[in-house]
Amino acid sequence: MQGAGGQRQRERLKKMLEGVEKIFEEMQPMMKKLKKSSYEKNMFDFREKHSHYFREMADYMDQAQDKEKAAGEMAASFVDKVEKHYTQKGKIGGRVQADLNFFMIYYTFPAILLTGSEHAKVIADTICREWGARFKDSKIGYTDYYTLYDGFRDKIFGIF
């Protein structure tokens, strides 16, 4: 019976993350001229459109008996889908990889943490490790939305 349950869990994971690479579709405009007000709006819009992926990740972890294994499977599946979508001629170009890395730091990881799930940090840690292991020059870290948001200045010297 354990095998059937595990198979259902894998099928659920596959279906859950189907299309997850779409979270990067608006990457260029969301990273361009990033300021405090635009970051706030971008994050709101990003979560409005894609939060179901992050909620489903948290739900998957809630239901998993082996949390570490579930997080590893989820991270591998997430990174597989991004890698498959962005690989051209056997690799991801350096500029695209840098953009993906920044987008993960500014949007994906904070959105995961904003779910409020007790498993959010484990999910983010595991995806971060898998990301760094899989992609060249991509040993990245992450922080939460509020730390990033507070790091933006409203104005520089009262001008901007």
Checking if the pLDDT of 102 tops 50, the result is yes
> Could you report the per-residue pLDDT of 23-73, keeping only the tens digit for each?
999 999 999 988 999 999 999 999 999 999 999 999 999 999 999 999 999
Q: Is 88 helix (H, G, I), strand (E, B) or coil?
A: strand
Checking if the pLDDT of 80 tops 80, the result is yes
Do 149 and 36 touch, CB atoms closer than 8 A? Answer: yes
The pLDDT assigned to 78 comes to 95
Mean pLDDT of the chain: 90
> Could you report the per-residue pLDDT of 133-145, keeping only the tens digit for each?
999 889 999 999 9
4-8, 56-60, 105-109: which has the minimum mean pLDDT? 4-8
Task: Tell me how far CA of residue 73 lies from CA of 20, 33, 45, 60, 69, in angstroms.
Answer: 15, 35, 28, 11, 6
